[in-house]
Amino acid sequence: MSNPLLETWTTPFGLPPFDRIEPEHFKPAFDTAFAEHNGEIDAIIENQDAPSFANTLEPYERAGALLRKVSAVFYNLASGNTNEALQAIQSDLAPRMAAHWSTIQMNEKLFARINAVYENNDQSALTDEQSALLTEIHKDFVRAGAALSPEARAEVEKLDEELAGLTTHFGQNMLKSINSFELFLDEADLAGVPQGIRDAAAEAARDRGQVGKYFFTITRSSMNPILQFADSRQVREKIYKAYLNLAAEGSFDNRPLAARISALRARRAQLLGFSSHAAYMLDDRMAKTPERALELLKDLWVPTQRKVEEEARDLQKKIQDEGQNFELAPWDWKYYAEKIRAERFDLNNDEVRPYFALPNVRDGAFYVAGRLYGLTFTRLDNVALPHADAEAYEVTNESGDHIGIFVADYYMRSSKRDGAWMSSLREQSNTHGRVRPIVTNTCNFPKPKPGEVALLSFDEVRTVFHEFGHALHGLLTEVTYEHLAGTSVKRDFVELPSQIMEHWAMEPEVLHHYARHVETGEVIPDRLITKIQAASSFGQGFITGEYLAASFLDFAWSQLETDVEQDTESFEAGAMAAIGLTDKIAPRYRSTYFSHIFSGGYSAGYYSYIWAEVLDCDGYEAFKENGIFDPATANAFKENILMKGGTADPMALYKAFRGREPEVTPLLKDRGLL
């Protein structure tokens, strides 16, 4: 049987032939890829010449090309369009993949060659990028345990295998728990909910054989409109409590997994010479230490608490003004905040949402990329994609040169994990010719009825621009080595390109271009733009508070210095009590569904969004000072941030762009926390 994963793809732009790829192709493809990679590693080890950058680091960087190719396709499908067959493969693959990489990075002979180059090679003979590659690969091996005793290496390998299985299981439990919750509501339950949300929910209910009902889930895109607009307090409470208990009971219970993962990470960090998993992780980040990251969180927590208390008083007064006598609860917060927002800023969601049709918002992001970086996005038809909802675009520059491919998959479905993310189907590199990237954006917006378009909230507009910023980072990178390409940067630096893009979404000049009424085509009026901007920092106490609480929770788990498994619920309660979190809000993610840290790449790193926000708010000040589309400023950001990937120290890159280190004041101002 032919296997498309093992073929040289002759598809347009080398896109994976998704229309020919079946689940049964993956196991033999991975078998072949693992074997090929092992052979390439053996060839490096067996080389009798003295270790050098050319005969050790470069072939190591090239090795595993087939494994990267197969993995990119598999993990994009496993996160964006999974099924039972793919989930079974993923469960089997996780420990096998961990063991494969552990075997390579624990290989004494391979590490001896890399270490010899690192210690003995004349660094001045290397380019800056070659030196960065050598440093990063050497660090990868040391951090994996290559320098440990044989006994310690064996224990780390065992831990890595178990952790790979546990983190995969955690993510699958989340998806299954989300899909197991079905809330069918009646018309009477939806008083206050915008008509567009009702229409999408009615269509979803019809698809499930429930004509006349309205279907909602506990994904944020489905749940938030209920919490924000539903007049029924009972309905709000029901969906909110279901969300709080996500993956916390029954066969999808993630509580023991969170505890076990944290204990194993603590043990692994100690074997590697660190006091905690947080100390281990931040040793390779901009922040360098947990203490430095926590210092920023604590500095922000004090004004945020004041803002939360102020907002809570306003909301409680609103409840009482309406003749109610109950105490503000978490499921009331967004509902009454929306009422105050509407009154205080005369901002009506039903009036604003029609200006944010998803295709127009997407084109607005394209417009900004065109103005800043001279990019053009041309839709590709008749190409195979991961799902029928996905769309692909060729990206070219002002000279018409091919830059890469952008794939967008915006709509929610049960086969897709919750959230929004950027990924790659192919990374940029220049080691064997000019390889251009294929990047993806995946979101979870409610799918509209046939013949209609999705209308977004402004938070969802920000999500489109945010993920597109990551995509630009992947598209515009221009490095030699794939290991350093695009978003292969420090975790607390990677959010700078994404978060700075959000600023353009609110600029009047940009809104005038993309925000057009879905029915009339009318450009959004200035009076609405003024209201949107005036309301932009409203509710930041709640928004910042739930985010910071989750960041503190992440550090609580990651700073454990014992491998004794904790009771998840009491541990979380203690962590929140330690920061004085009010019972009127919850952390943005509780432990059982905190996929960022337990099944994603953000363990001891959820703080990085706010760390990068210091950078993006300060960086955007340069655009405001010089003009939001100033060519020189845009070029400086492109050349020093977007093109560089992981080829230099992040702070050095930022200073090259900005001329100085970042200041925190713009962030405080942007969030209304001064």
182-204: per-residue pLDDT in tens? 999 999 999 999 988 998 899 99
Q: At what angle do helices 495-505 and 458-476 cross, to 10 degrees?
A: 130
Whether residue 117 contacts residue 134, with contact meaning beta carbons closer than 8 Å, is answered with: yes
User: Which candidate, 468, 476, 565, 43, places its Cα nearest to that of 256?
Assistant: 565
pLDDT band at residue 7 under the 50/70/90 scheme: very high
pLDDT score, position 673: 86
State the Cα–Cα distance between residues 651 and 661, nearest whole angstrom.
Answer: 7
Under 8 Å CB-to-CB from 374, ≥6 apart: which residues? 397, 398
Question: pLDDT tens digits, residue range 533-554?
Answer: 999 889 999 999 999 999 999 9
CB of 338 within 8 A of CB of 487?
Answer: no
Q: What pTM was computed for the model?
A: 0.94
Tens digit of pLDDT for each residue in 459-506? 999 999 999 999 999 999 999 999 999 999 999 999 999 999 999 999
Looking at the chain, the whole-number percentage of residues with pLDDT higher than 70 is: 100
The one catalytic residue in 129, 394, 460, 467 is 467
Q: How far from 174 is each of 226, 349, 390, CA to CA, in Å? A: 21, 31, 23
pLDDT of residue 122: 66
pLDDT-based confidence at residue 121 (cuts at 50, 70, 90)? low
**What percent of the chain is predicted at pLDDT more than 90?**
93
Task: List phi, psi (to 5°) of 523.
Answer: -70, 140
DSSP annotation of 76? H
- Residue in 226, 216, 223 with CA at minimum distance from that of residue 194: 226
Question: Where residue 412 falls among pLDDT bands split at 50, 70, 90?
Answer: very high
Task: Specify the residue for token string 């990075």.
Answer: 105
Give phi and psi for 7, each to the nearest 5: -90, 160
Could you tell me where the DSSP H helices lie in 411-525?
Answer: 458-476, 495-505, 508-514
Residue 92 half-sphere exposure, CB side, CA atoms within 13 Å?
11
Superfamily of chain region 10-105+107-144: Endopeptidase. Chain P; domain 1 (1.20.1050.40)
Please choose, from the candidates 455, 472, 441, 462, the residue with its C-alpha nearest in 3D space to the C-alpha of residue 507.
462
Residue 296 has which token pair? 């920023």
Give the list of residues 6+ apart from residue 85 with CB closer than 8 angstroms, or none.
Answer: 23, 24
**What letter represents residue 523's amino acid?**
V
Pairing mode, strands 376-380 and 391-396: antiparallel
Q: Residue 333 — φ and ψ, nearest 5°?
A: -60, -55
**Model confidence pLDDT, tens digit, residues 549-606:** 999 999 999 999 999 999 999 999 999 999 999 999 999 999 999 999 999 889 999 9
pLDDT tier, 123 (very low <50, low <70, confident <90, very high otherwise): low
Q: For the chain, which residues make up each domain, given as ranges?
A: 10-105+107-144, 181-245, 353-534
Query: Residues in the chain, how many?
Result: 674
Neighbouring residues of 613: CB distance < 8 A, sequence distance ≥ 6: 495, 499, 667, 670
CATH 1.10.1370.40 for the 353-534 domain, yes or no: yes
Q: What is the dihedral of CA 327, 331, 333, 335, to 10 degrees?
A: -110
Specify whether 467 is catalytic. Answer: yes
Determine the average pLDDT of the residues in 634-644. 98
**Kind plus residue range of the DSSP H or E element containing 619:** helix 608-626
